[in-house]
Amino acid sequence: MAALLEVKNLKTYFYKKKSVIPAVDGVDLKINKGETLAIVGESGSGKSITSLSIMKLVPSPAGKIVEGEIILDGKNLVDLSEAEMCKVRGNDVSMIFQEPMTSLNPVLTVGEQIIEVLMYHQKMTKAEATKKAIEMLEMVGFSRAAELINDYPHRLSGGMRQRVMIAIAMSCNPKLLIADEPTTALDVTIQAQILDLMRDLSHKFDTSILIITHDLGVVSEVADRVIVMYCGQVVEEATVDDLFNEPLHPYTIGLMGSIPSIEIESDRLQSIKGNVPSPEHLPKGCRFAPRCPSAFDRCFAEMPELMSNNGRTVRCFLHDTKGDKQ
Ligand SMILES: Nc1ncnc2c1ncn2[C@@H]1O[C@H](COP(=O)(O)OP(=O)(O)O)[C@@H](O)[C@H]1O
Ligand code: SF4
Ligand SMILES: [Mg+2]
């Protein structure tokens, strides 16, 4: 199947006075049309910077895409000018964030915010855009959409604001919706409703979704495939079924151990020992070695490549069929 988005060897670095931070360090990923790909990993693993790189919204001047390609529908976004990227954002790719209030304008009504997007990107008249805005709000589950367009965002609950953000993001029928921790700030029942909504919309419009989360529960709810990131690198890539049936990378296995389960008392929850290393002082060999319960000598000396064998993709010497495992 042809990929909608293909990211190849993406490197996005931050330049500080005395150091360089490889926030995204050689990431490859692919999303097919209509597919939902999740990126999962602990805080600081480079998930958000990967998605901001795809939007070409990396905090600048400190952050910079230094290498790689981001091919959307055959076009390399890395080569586009800011003016060209403005057309891509909103039209081809839209993004929603954890806290919708930061992206909603508090002085504009809900209706005005959607209408503005439609008039700018779709060149609609105000009347056309108003009609479409009401349709979009109905589609994301608001029954009183015609009244809601006159409300200001602060009058809405967190879940309602996220629905409004999804309506805005979907209003130009993007090929790709990027959602960075879209349900992290919401309580559990509302989380489930938002994930259901995203899944429905993706099926209805054949929209591809890139969802970023630190929560494997969210991955199992919505994703088809998943990429596990650690310290700026992909450490495992798999279908959701494969990942949950048989996680291969010791880091993925550790993350699985951290999923809260109603069957296990919360004080017996395992989590991964130790901390994510400082991105300025990354270990020389495998970046997970200092925390890995299976680490052996080679892991501290040499960095494993991302390797594919028998349909599974993992960056770990334990799964290196060519290498000399101990
Ligand atoms: N604005 C910034 N300036 C400097 N470094 C940054 C900035 N944003 C992110 N980073 C670095 O990039 C790393 C990855 O960040 P991020 O992609 O936000 O992680 P995640 O979304 O997985 O929690 C961080 O650990 C940090 O070191
Ligand atoms: S390469 Fe070694 S340290 Fe890294 S995850 Fe595999 S076993 Fe652990
Ligand atoms: Mg993040």
Residue 60 confidence (pLDDT) above 70? yes
User: Which residue has its alpha carbon closest to ligand 2 atom 7?
Assistant: 295
More confident residue, 257 or 127: 127
- Chain centroid to Cα 278, Å, comes to 22
pLDDT at 1: 65
Residue 204 CA to ligand 1 centre (angstroms): 34
Least confident interval from 40-54, 254-268, 281-295 = 254-268
pTM for the whole thing?
0.93
CB-CB contact of 274 with 291 (8 Å): yes
The tens digit of pLDDT for each residue in 215-266 reads: 999 999 999 999 999 999 999 999 999 999 999 999 999 999 876 555 544 4
Q: Is the pLDDT of residue 168 over 90?
A: yes
The protein residues having their C-beta less than 5 angstroms from ligand 3 (an ion) are 48
How many residues are recorded in the chain?
326
Cα–Cα distance, 232 to 229 (Å, whole number): 6
Closest CA to 30 of 246, 216, 240, 208: 208
Q: How confident is the model at residue 90 (pLDDT cuts 50, 70, 90)?
A: confident
For residue 23, report the distance from its CA to the centre of ligand 1, in Å.
6
Confidence band, pLDDT 50/70/90 cuts, at residue 324: very low
Q: Are 320 and 308 in contact (CB under 8 A)?
A: no
**CB of 47 closer than 6 A to ligand 1?**
yes
5 has a pLDDT exceeding 60: yes
- Whether 45 lines ligand 1, by a CB cut-off of 6 Å, is yes
List C-alpha distances in Å: 31 to 38, 82, 109, 307: 10, 24, 34, 19
Q: How far is the CA of 94 from the centre of ligand 1 (A)?
A: 21
Least confident of 192-206, 211-225, 310-324: 310-324
- Across 49-135, the runs of DSSP E, i.e. the strands, are 63-72, 75-76, 93-96
